[in-house]
């Protein structure tokens, strides 16, 4: 019987909870990341999601977490102990990573950036170099050559930029960021002007920065897009060779499999 895994990506905006087996991701759910969470609120949410999947707490064989929000991770860890009866494994502390961290100060690299780069390399082993582009709270570009994580770029995020603009201007609306056109048009109303400005502006940023990064990497270079809106942008952005919306949970699944293999030798 296959094992049931709970893979959790705790970001600055959202907590993504993914039910999986060692072979594949199965179902994904999203909670907001907010200071008002408590271990009980997170634990009760876990129980609801388990029930939705037809599972009981004891059916979860392992939980692995990648977090860039230490306070929320502490709350989630306590929720797992109380409601699942087990403590989660945390990336990177509880895992060995088959990748060299080439950052000047390796401890400064966000766990999400490192895991996404690792997952991209594991899923696409053939190209000499890789760029992982993650459209999260920030837009990050992470470069891998061979089995070495080199570093990358951190840029503004699409949704956080939209929210900041709406919050700090008197007359600009909050827009939906729906991709409805394949080419940027001259906006004849404010909503269209903003929507196309953001969508095609961030697509152009991804295309331009990937080209500049490729010039510094041994080729061929393969570009993987991830994050909530990457799938939508793939229709208008020429930067991507592949889209993996859940690259971080994929990375957790892969490192969990490798950890288990080492422990059973």
Give catalytic residues, as residue numbers: 112
Cα–Cα distance for residue pair 93/66, rounded to 1 Å: 10
DSSP 172-197: PPPP------SS----SSHHHHHHHH
- Asked whether 153 and 209 are in contact (CB, 8 A), the reply is yes
Q: Distance from CA of residue 200 to its chain's centroid? A: 21
* CB neighbours of residue 53 within 10 Å: 16
Tell which residue, 258, 234, 235, has the closest CA to residue 245. Answer: 234
Q: Which strands make up the sheet holding 221-227, listed edge to edge? A: 100-101, 148-156, 138-145, 129-135, 221-227, 242-243
Q: Distance from CA of residue 166 to its chain's centroid? A: 25
Cα–Cα distance for residue pair 165/171, rounded to 1 Å: 10
Task: Decide: helix, strand or coil at residue 62.
Answer: strand
Task: Identify how many contiguous H helices and E strands the chain contains and give both numbers.
Answer: 7, 11
Cα–Cα distance for residue pair 217/40, rounded to 1 Å: 47
Cα–Cα distance for residue pair 216/163, rounded to 1 Å: 33
- Asked whether 118 and 255 are in contact (CB, 8 A), the reply is yes
């Amino acid at each position: 019987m296959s094992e049931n895994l709970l893979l959790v990506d705790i970001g600055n905006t959202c907590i993504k909870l993914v039910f999986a087996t060692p072979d594949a991701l199965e179902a994904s759910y999203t909670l907001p990341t907010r200071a008002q969470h408590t271990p009980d609120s997170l634990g009760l949410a876990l129980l609801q999601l388990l029930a939705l999947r037809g599972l009981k707490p004891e059916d979860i064989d392992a939980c692995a977490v990648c977090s860039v929000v230490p306070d929320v991770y502490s709350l989630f860890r306590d929720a797992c102990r109380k409601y699942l009866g087990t403590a989660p494994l945390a990336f990177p502390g509880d895992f060995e990573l088959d990748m060299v961290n080439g950052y000047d100060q390796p401890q400064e690299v966000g766990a999400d950036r490192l895991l996404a780069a690792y997952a991209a390399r594991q899923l696409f082993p053939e190209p000499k170099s890789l760029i992982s582009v993650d459209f999260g709270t920030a837009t990050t570009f992470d470069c891998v050559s061979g089995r070495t994580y080199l570093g990358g770029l951190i840029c503004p995020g699409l949704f956080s930029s939209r929210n900041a603009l709406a919050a700090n201007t008197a007359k600009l609306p909050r827009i939906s960021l729906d991709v409805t056109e394949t080419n940027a048009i001259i906006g004849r109303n404010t909503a269209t002007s903003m929507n196309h400005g953001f969508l095609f502006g961030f697509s152009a940023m991804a295309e331009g920065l990937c080209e500049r990064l490729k010039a510094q990497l041994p080729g061929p270079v393969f570009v993987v897009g991830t994050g909530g809106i990457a799938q939508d942008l793939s229709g208008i952005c020429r930067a991507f060779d592949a889209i993996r919306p859940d690259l971080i949970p994929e990375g957790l699944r892969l490192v969990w499999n490798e950890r288990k293999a080492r422990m059973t030798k």
